[in-house]
Amino acid sequence: MVGALGAALLLGGACGIPASSDVRVDGKGGTATEAGSNNGGRSEPPTRTASGSDIDAFVRNFLDAAAGEPDRAYERVKLFVAPEHQSKLQEKKGSEVALNVVRLREAVFTGNSDLTTTVKIKVQQLGLLRSNGTLAPPVATETGYEFRVRSAAFGGDDERAGLYVLDPPNVLLLSDNALQQYYQDESIYFWSSDGSRLVPDQRYLPAAVPDERRVNEVVKWLVGGPSDWLRPGVVGLPDRTELVNNATGAHNRWEVNLDMSGDDQTQIDRLITQLAWSLGDLRGELALKIRNNALPVQDLEARRNSEALYPIIEGPQRYGVYEGAIRPLDFPGEPSGDVPLSAEVNRNIVSAGLARAEGRILAAMVVNSGKGRHRLAVGTGPALNRSGKDYASISRPVWLRTVDSRPGRGLVVADGRLYRFDEAAGMYQVPLNLPTPEVTAVAAALDGQRVALIAGGRLYVAAVNLDGGGVSIGPPRALVTSLTGLSAVDWSGEGRLVVAGSAGQPAIYGISVDGALETPLKTDVGAKVNHLTAYPTNDEVPSPSVGYMYEANGVAYRSSPFERIEPGQVRDVAPPPAGLRPSNPSAPFFLY
C-alpha cells in the first residue's frame, strides 16, 4: 500500500533553486573574509538524526549527505546507511571520488508490512561533480532510484534513534539543492588561446573550506588545467608545473610556491594576474615563489584594479527595431545613445547586434532583401557591406568581443547552420561536432571565448579559438535543463545563461553555464520567445537592474521591472498620423 505520505514532491524538485538561497549562481561566493573563516551560509549538511522520524526530511538529508570535502563524502553517506548495508556502497578514494548530481523530481513513499518504507525517487541526471571542483557531463543514465528506510528501533536496535537507509544506491548522489547550499560557485581564469584575455572556468568549492585552504585548492585547480570543454579555447600553465608543498595563508598574506619551467618575466606577470583574478574576492598580499625563488610581493586587489578583466564600458544602452530601422529605446534613469548608422543604410532591418571595439561601434544587421529572403549586412558607420547570399532565415548576429584593434568577427545562424562573419560581411560556415547539424540560436559570452548554442532543441556551450584569422569552435558540451523546446539563449553573466523554452508553457529560465543550477525567471510568457537578449553582468562591470529583453508573438518586453516596450519608448520617431495605430518595437538588444 502507499504510505501515509503518498507521493510527495521533494523541495526544489521543480526548479533546482528555491526562492531564497545563500549561494550565488554567478561570481564569487560571499565577500572577503579573514583567514580561517568560511563565506557564510550552512557549510555542513544535516546529520542523520536531524530529521527525527520525518521520513521526507530524512530522504532529503540523505541526498545532501555527500556534500562537502570529497575525502569525507563516503563517511558522511555511510552514517545514513544501516551498518549491515554499508558494504553495498562502492567506496572510492582520493581523486576518484565523484558525486552524481541530480535534480529531484518527486519521491513516492510506500509503507511495507515489515515496518520499512520503500522510497522511489525520480531524478534528472545533471553531471558528475569531481574532486577538482568541475561538474563533468553525467555518466549515469538512471531516471530513478529505489531504496528502503527503517527506524533504528527495528530489530531490537534501541541504542540509536532516528532512521536508516537500507539497500542504498551504489553511487553517491547529491541533489542540486545541496550543490547550491553547501558549495561556493567559483570562477578561476585561464588565458585565451591567443593570449589576449582571461576566460572564466566554473568550479565548486565546499563552503566548509576556510580561506587559507581555498587558496591551495584554487592553485591546484590552475595547475590541473581547464575544464575539458573549455580546453580548446584557452591555455593552461606550462607543462609539468607543480605546486611545491601546500599554498598557505594567514593574516591576509597568501604564500604560493610553484615548480614552473621558464624564467620569462612576461609569463610570470601573466601568472600573477591569473592568480589575482582566480582568488577573486580575497584581499591581501600574494607571496609567490617560482622554484623557491621569491618574487616581489603583490597586492591582490591592486593587481585586479590595474589589470581589468573587461574594458570599462558605458551603458548598457537599449536599442530595438522600429518600422525597419534601428532606434534607441528610452527608459527613465538609463543612458540612451544615438544610432551609429546613416539613414541611407538604416532601413529594411529585421534584427541587429552592436558592439564596442577600440573606440568604434561595430554593427551587424539582418536585412530584408525581399520575397521572404534575408541577407547579412555589416558596417562601422556610413559604410555598409552585405553578404553575397540570401537566406530564408538568419538569427540575430552576435559579435565576438575583442580587446585590441584586430578586425571584428562574429557569429550568426543562417538556414540552420552556424557561420562566422567579418567586417567585410564575408560568411564562412563553422564546423560543429553535434548530433544534429540543425542550429537555431547562438550567443557569445562577454569574454568572446565562449558561446552558447541551441541545436536540435538542446542547449550547448563551447569554447572559441581565435588563433589566426578564423574562428573555430571546440566540441560542444550538452547542458541538462528542465525546459523543453528551447528557442533562444543569451549570456546574462560570466557563468550564467538566460534561456527560453517550455516548462509546460512558454517560460524563461536562468541556467548556470554547466546546467546544474536553474531558476525560473518568467513562467507566464504566454507565447514562444523568438528573440532574447541580456546584459552580461560581472564582478567588474555590474548592472544587476538591467536584466534581459525578449520578443514573443510580435511584442517586445523588458525585465527589471517587467513591462511591455511601448512605441512611445522608441526615440527619434514621429508619431503616426491620426487614426493609425503605431507599430510595435521588435528585436530589442543592448549596446555595451
pLDDT in tens, 93-129: 777 899 999 999 999 999 999 999 999 999 999 999 9
Q: Mind listing the pLDDT tens digit for each residue in 177-204?
A: 999 999 999 999 999 988 889 999 999 9
**Counts of helices then strands in the chain (DSSP H, E):** 6, 40
3-state secondary structure of 477: strand
459 contact partners, CB below 8 Å, separation of at least 6: 452, 453, 478, 479, 481, 486, 489, 497, 499, 511, 515
SS (H, E, C) 443-457: EECCCCCEEEEEECC
What gap in Å lies between CA 459 and CA 478, rounded to an integer?
6
Which amino acid is located at 437 in the chain?
P
Confidence of residue 157 (pLDDT cuts 50, 70, 90): very low
Domain boundaries of the chain, sorted by first residue: 7-182, 185-306, 317-532+567-591
Average pLDDT over residues 504-522: 96
**48 φ, ψ (degrees, to nearest 5):** -60, -40
Q: Report the alpha-carbon distance of residue 557 to residue 568 in Å, rounded.
A: 13
Half-sphere exposure of 491 (CA within 13 A, CB side): 27
CATH class of 317-532+567-591: mainly beta
Q: Is the pLDDT of residue 568 over 90?
A: yes
Write the CB contacts of 140 (distance below 8 Å, at least 6 apart in sequence): 100, 125, 128, 171
Which residues are CB-neighbours of 203 under 8 A, at least 6 positions away? 132, 133, 134, 186, 187, 188, 221
Compute the mean pLDDT over every residue in the chain, rounded to the nearest whole number: 88
pLDDT of residue 220: 96
Q: What is the mean pLDDT of residues 520-548?
A: 89
Residue 1 has pLDDT above 80, yes or no: no
Per-residue pLDDT, 7: 42
Which whole number is the average pLDDT over 210-232? 94
Rounded Cα distance between 299 and 275, Å, is 11
Q: Which residues contact 333 (CB under 8 A, 6 or more apart)?
A: none
* Radius of gyration of the chain from its Cα atoms, rounded to whole angstroms: 26
Q: What is the pTM of this model?
A: 0.90
| pLDDT at residue 29 is higher than 60 | no
pLDDT band at 33; cut points 50, 70, 90: very low
> Could you tell me if 202 and 210 are in contact, meaning their C-beta atoms sit under 8 angstroms apart?
no
Residue 41: predicted pLDDT: 47
pLDDT at residue 83 is higher than 50: yes
Helices marked H in 69-155: 73-78
Q: Is the pLDDT of residue 381 over 80?
A: no
Contact 411, 444 (CB under 8 A): yes
What is the grid cell recorded at 553? 508573438
Q: What is the pLDDT of residues 409-465, one digit of tens each?
A: 999 999 999 999 999 999 999 999 999 889 999 999 999 999 999 999 999 999 999
The tens digit of pLDDT for each residue in 347-378 reads: 999 999 999 888 889 999 999 999 899 999 99
For the CA atoms of 442, 590, 500, 464, what is the dihedral angle to 10 degrees?
Answer: 30
C-alpha distances out from residue 280 to 179, 305, 550, Å: 20, 12, 32
pLDDT at position 31 over 50 = no
Identify the CA nearest to 493 among candidates 328, 309, 320: 309
